[in-house]
Amino acid sequence: MDLSFSPAEESFRAELRGWLAEHLPDAWRGGEPPEFASLADEVAFLRDWQRRLAEAGWVGIHWPREYGGRGASVVEHYIFQEEIAAARAPEIINRIGVNLVGPTLIAHGTDAQRRRFLPKILAAEELWCQLFSEPGAGSDLTALRTRAEPTSDGWVVNGQKVWTSYAQFARWGILLARTDPEAPKAKGISYLICDMQAPGVTVRPLRQMTGSEEFNEVFLEDVVVPREHLVGREHEGWAIANTTLAHERGTSPRQLVIHRMLLQDLLRLAREGGADPVLRQRIAQHFLEVEITRLNNWRTLTRLQKRLPLGAESSFIKLFWSEMSQRMHETVMALLGPRGLCWQPGPYAPAGGRLARSYLYYRAASLFAGTSEIQRNILAERVLGLPRSR
């Protein structure tokens, strides 16, 4: 294992740091990001931020050059995510478009789809959402029931999706729907592009415990999807969905940096308020786990660099950092004590309520991109060779 970055990679890092030092919005420089009056205001700001990043060539850096990317290596992509997080810069808003849709269309889309959709993703001109999960199909997506009935030139879609992040702002959605109801579960699913402004699409925001309404229920009633919005072949969408899902896994440099910073918050709280021996032990354990996360990331990065398959390792990384995060946030709340109840900005809220909101937000970490139970099933079966769960 080589534990250092090459001179070329370090100069890439320096160039990005230089750009961020010059262009990071002022409100982000103090370490406490500002609060927006509404989610819509925040999204408008983030679209503008993504546009500026894209103009400077910092969005979709892992996309090939011919599609507007930088053709960056996996290591440069890792460094990019690490530096953006370390600068506490806002995340790009069109994450689904850039990280999931782009690579999927590059691998499986038609030339016409690539020409139509890719250019508007990078600068957040058109936002995308992911219409995969349904009320009865989350962990087991192959149980999905949304139905796409064929017509002479496409499909008519009926069904319901849920937990669709940013659907209320999205122009397009990647949609999994059943096109052959007779076929067994994973067969007979097609991968479609859904126009979120089409008649019959209703988006209802769901309020989360953080107070935000990022994700939604999406109702699809006789929604027309033209034939040219099919990605790959009809009934063979499950394999393509797996390309999309694979892009959700792998290393987690952003989470590593965020939790390194959280460790600093923990140390500050412990120094200010005093921590009993049990809490001190817990903080020491958190330090060890953040270091383990760093080494896991590097091990995976090495495999990616050598083009080795990731397999069950990506499940381990996701499981480890998400549960570490929840343990660390429990310690944050123990140190905050009753003050942790003040999660909204105000005079009594420590760190403007940021730490308490972070505690609430990271409850979701053991759910999104595959729940902890599902990651454990994968590890049990594929690493430990235990019998398949039923």
Ligand X SMILES: Cc1cc2nc3c(=O)[nH]c(=O)nc-3n(C[C@H](O)[C@H](O)[C@H](O)COP(=O)(O)OP(=O)(O)OC[C@H]3O[C@@H](n4cnc5c(N)ncnc54)[C@H](O)[C@@H]3O)c2cc1C
**Tokens found for residue 228:** 């040219």
Nearest Cα to Cα of residue 141 among 214, 244, 226: 244
Q: By CB under 6 A, is residue 377 in contact with ligand X?
A: yes
Interaction with ligand X in 198-257: which residues (CB under 6 A)? 215
Q: By CB under 6 A, is residue 364 in contact with ligand X?
A: yes
How distant, in Å, are the alpha carbons of 101, 141, 186, 192, 232 from that of 241?
Answer: 10, 10, 11, 10, 10
How distant, in Å, are the alpha carbons of 42, 220, 315 from that of 142?
Answer: 34, 18, 19
Beta carbon nearer to ligand X, 302 or 326: 326
- The alpha helices in the chain, defined as continuous H runs, are 7-23, 39-55, 74-86, 95, 102-108, 111-117, 119-122, 237-246, 253-273, 277-305, 313-336, 354-361, 372-382
Beta carbon nearer to ligand X, 106 or 369: 369
Chain position carrying tokens 């067994």: 184
- Dist CA 327 CA 323 (whole Å): 6
Q: By CB under 6 A, is residue 380 in contact with ligand X?
A: no
CA dihedral angle for residue 373, residue 377, residue 378, residue 382, rounded to 10 degrees: 160
Nearest approach, Cβ of residue 373 and ligand X (Å) = 3
Nearest approach, Cβ of residue 152 and ligand X (Å) = 29
Given the rule CB under 6 A, which of 127-135, 148-156, 183-191, 228-236 is the region that contacts ligand X? Answer: 127-135
Q: By CB under 6 A, is residue 110 in contact with ligand X?
A: no
Complete DSSP assignment for 121-187: HHTTSS-EEEE--BTTBSSSGGG---EEEEETTEEEEEEEEEEEETGGG-SEEEEEEES-TTS-TTT
Nearest approach, Cβ of residue 368 and ligand X (Å) = 4
Given the rule CB under 6 A, which of 84-92, 131-139, 260-268, 341-349 is the region that contacts ligand X? Answer: 131-139
* 289 in active site: no
Q: By CB under 6 A, is residue 345 in contact with ligand X?
A: no
Q: By CB under 6 A, is residue 305 in contact with ligand X?
A: no
Q: By CB under 6 A, is residue 164 in contact with ligand X?
A: yes
Beta carbon nearer to ligand X, 158 or 208: 208
Nearest approach, Cβ of residue 31 and ligand X (Å) = 24
Nearest approach, Cβ of residue 248 and ligand X (Å) = 9
Q: Which of 52, 261, 371, 381 binds ligand X (CB under 6 A)?
A: 371
Q: By CB under 6 A, is residue 139 in contact with ligand X?
A: yes
Residues in the chain: 390
Given the rule CB under 6 A, which of 68-76, 254-262, 293-301, 360-368 is the region that contacts ligand X? Answer: 360-368
Please calculate the CA angle 200-204-209 and round it to the nearest 5 degrees: 160
Task: Tell me the three state secondary structure of residue 41.
Answer: helix
Q: By CB under 6 A, is residue 117 in contact with ligand X?
A: no
Task: Tell me the three state secondary structure of residue 209.
Answer: coil
Q: By CB under 6 A, is residue 169 in contact with ligand X?
A: no
Given the rule CB under 6 A, which of 105-113, 126-134, 187-195, 307-315 is the region that contacts ligand X? Answer: 126-134
Beta carbon nearer to ligand X, 306 or 388: 388
Q: Which residues pair with 236 in a beta bridge?
A: 189
Of the candidates 125, 248, 323, 381, the residue annotated as catalytic is: 248
Beta carbons of 202 and 221 less than 8 angstroms apart: yes
CA dihedral angle for residue 56, residue 58, residue 64, residue 67, rounded to 10 degrees: -50
Q: By CB under 6 A, is residue 163 in contact with ligand X?
A: yes
Annotated catalytic residues are 248
Binding site for ligand X (CB under 6 A): 129-130, 132-133, 138-139, 163-165, 215, 364, 367-368, 371, 373-374, 377, 389
